[in-house]
Structure 1
Amino acid sequence: MTRSGHRLGRCAAALAIVAAGCRGSSGPGAAEPADSPTGGPRPAGIVRAVGTRPEGIVVDTRTGIVAVAVRKPDRLLLLDSGTLAPRRAVRLPGHARHLVLAGAGGPVLVPVENADTLLQVPLTGPGRTATTVGRSPHSAAAVGNGRIVVGNEVGGTLSIVRAGRVERTVPGLRQPGGVVAAGPVVAVVDVAAFTVTTFDPATARRIATTRAGAGPTHVVLVAAHRMVVADTRGDALLVFDPQPLRLISRLPLAGTPYGVAADPLTQSVWVTLTARNQVVGVCLASGHPRVIARYPTVEQPNTVAVTPGSRTVYLAGARRGEVQAIRRPARALPERTCR
């Protein structure tokens, strides 16, 4: 039975006892990843145990480091990108579910949800910068001119951080989820309003808002006029032009797509299908998105990262505490685009 089937069963049982709501993946409210099945095909590539509930993963080719957040205790693990062997661990003041690189070579932006804090952690060397932001920071993006935009999911705000302090707080969102820099604008997915909105990060001015499917969660930038939103509840990928903001195309993608990583070099995205324990490569080089690769993954693959050229895809398996690296064969590698 799918996650929605389980949830509908629980809703029916609850309604038989008391008239109360039960939010499921087919009802209102923020979409969530599916409860992934157990068993299934062996994951592709290599798999290493790393710790409890890894979620949030990035890869940096300049330093050869994969960063992943784990819990119990809350840490940021820095792994060798080739072997997945640990290099060092950084203590966190709480848990994180999403990571992003501020740029090549780092630092890693770590929104610590239950500490209302944004950490900037260098990939090499000691030290870190901590900034108190809004309630439950979920995602962040470096947007240029030294600014970082943080989406505070419970607080319904954006924090614009510069030089280690909050420069401005932007209200007016219901539940900001994914955040991405798109040239001179920042795009924010509101997971409760089912919209994507663009802002000017320098002035905090809202530029445009449009619908984003039945239950959007995360967003990445693939090219100057191509950003991709995972419509988790709607089983689809939505392709938008951020300037001006408009929907370009929709790719049906069954399996509860959730984690998404962009490879601008090949104009492709890699998307986790949490209901199937799969990761899918999607080409956006032409006007029509198309699936170009599909691999079995670790269980509960909520987050994904990819190297430039889509040479290696990394996944965090939250259920069994694993990280997976899929090294793609040379014949599968496009030179500059996935056309």
Structure 2
Amino acid sequence: MLRRIAIPGAPRHLRFQASSGLLLVPAESANAVVLVDVTKGVVQSTVPVGRQPHDVVAAGERIFVSDEQANDISVIVSTRLDRTLPAPTQPGGVAATAGTFAALGVRSHTLEAFDAQSFATLGTAPAGTAPTHVVADNEGHLYVADTGGEAVLVYAVAPALSQIARLSVPGKPYGLALDPVRHRLWVTLTATNTLEEFDISGGQPKRLATFPSVRQPNSVAVDEKSGIVFVTGTADGVVQIVTPSM
């Protein structure tokens, strides 16, 4: 361990803002987002936001925060709260692509997209029966884990937000990660302790492989440089490393 950095509340998600080199940490119990300078290993600033900031994503110089218990989106600009936007009920995950960002309403079962510059809404679409997470690629597509519906839902943000595909994924899909370099979508299945790999290079995602995973694989991440995949095993407090064949 290189350094331990104290933050005011427990986070469930982390995001990196490439333009600033800051690690974005939503501290849920503190109703704040902590901006960490990873090169110096210090907290640059702590920005108060709405109630229970669950997830965070950067789109250019702006940072969008889903305030899960406030039903809104906090917008951070230059390390300060710039404004708040109305969001779907109980906004959980947020994602950004192609000049837009989207918020997933966990309770309302809807996905809403916004223009990242003007903040205008670009539409709302149904998001299954029990959605939990959303990720975005670099080509204007959003992927939602409909955990209750045992599916991954695929959306396009242009010309208007619309669902373009539904992938049946039995086993309670939960964690999502995208590898934009290799055009891969990784999905964890918490009911079966498995990890699935999809090719998203075409119009319809295709299942490529299934891997056994650690128990309760709640989260997954991918190293874009190497393609190596990391899966958290919440039940046993472990991390699994998967090196897929390319």
Quick check: TM above 0.5?
Answer: yes
Amino acid at match of 1:149: F
Q: What are the within-5 Å matches in structure 2 for residues 104-143 of structure 1?
A: 106-128=21-43, 129-143=45-59
Is the 2:179–2:227 contact (alpha carbons within 8 Å) kept by the matching residues of 1?
Answer: no
Distance of 1:310 and 1:262 partners within structure 2 = 13
**Corresponding residue number in structure 2 for 1:103:** 18
Aligned length: 244
Distance of 1:92 and 1:114 partners within structure 2 = 11
Is the 1:258–1:302 contact (alpha carbons within 8 Å) kept by the matching residues of 2?
Answer: yes
The residue matched to 1:90 in structure 2 has which SS?
coil
Match of 2:69 among 154, 161, 180: 154
Distance of 2:19 and 2:207 partners within structure 1 = 28
**Corresponding residue number in structure 2 for 1:265:** 181
Q: Quick check: which has more Rg, 1 or 2?
A: 1
Deviations 1:303-338 (A, max 9, x none): 11001266210112222221222223xxx21xxxxx
Higher RCO (Cα < 8 Å, 6 or more apart)? 1
Unaligned stretches of 5+ in structure 1?
A: 1-85, 334-339
Task: Report the alpha carbon displacement of residue 256 of structure 1 after superposing the two structures with TM.
Answer: 0.7
Q: What are the within-5 Å matches in structure 2 for residues 157-306 of structure 1?
A: 157-243=72-158, 244-306=160-222
Gap change, CA 1:182 and 1:150, over 3 Å in 2: same
Gap change, CA 1:264 and 1:104, over 3 Å in 2: farther
Task: Report the alpha carbon displacement of residue 91 of structure 1 after superposing the two structures with TM.
Answer: 1.8
Runs of 4+ in 1 over 3 A off after TM superposition: none
Unaligned stretches of 5+ in structure 2?
A: none
Gap change, CA 1:319 and 1:279, over 3 Å in 2: same
Deviations 1:120-145 (A, max 9, x none): 2233313222111100011111011x
Distance of 2:152 and 2:222 partners within structure 1 = 18
Task: Report the alpha carbon displacement of residue 293 of structure 1 after superposing the two structures with TM.
Answer: 2.0
**What is the CA RMSD across the aligned residues, in angstroms?**
1.7
Deviations 1:162-182 (A, max 9, x none): 111110011253110110111
Residue identity over aligned pairs, in percent, reads 38
Distance of 1:185 and 1:306 partners within structure 2 = 23
Task: Report the alpha carbon displacement of residue 274 of structure 1 after superposing the two structures with TM.
Answer: 0.8
Task: Report the alpha carbon displacement of residue 88 of structure 1 after superposing the two structures with TM.
Answer: 2.6
Structure with more helix by fraction? 1
The residue matched to 1:114 in structure 2 has which SS?
helix
Is the 1:215–1:231 contact (alpha carbons within 8 Å) kept by the matching residues of 2?
Answer: yes
Gap change, CA 1:303 and 1:134, over 3 Å in 2: same
Task: Report the alpha carbon displacement of residue 296 of structure 1 after superposing the two structures with TM.
Answer: 1.8
Amino acid at match of 1:231: D
Distance of 2:22 and 2:172 partners within structure 1 = 30
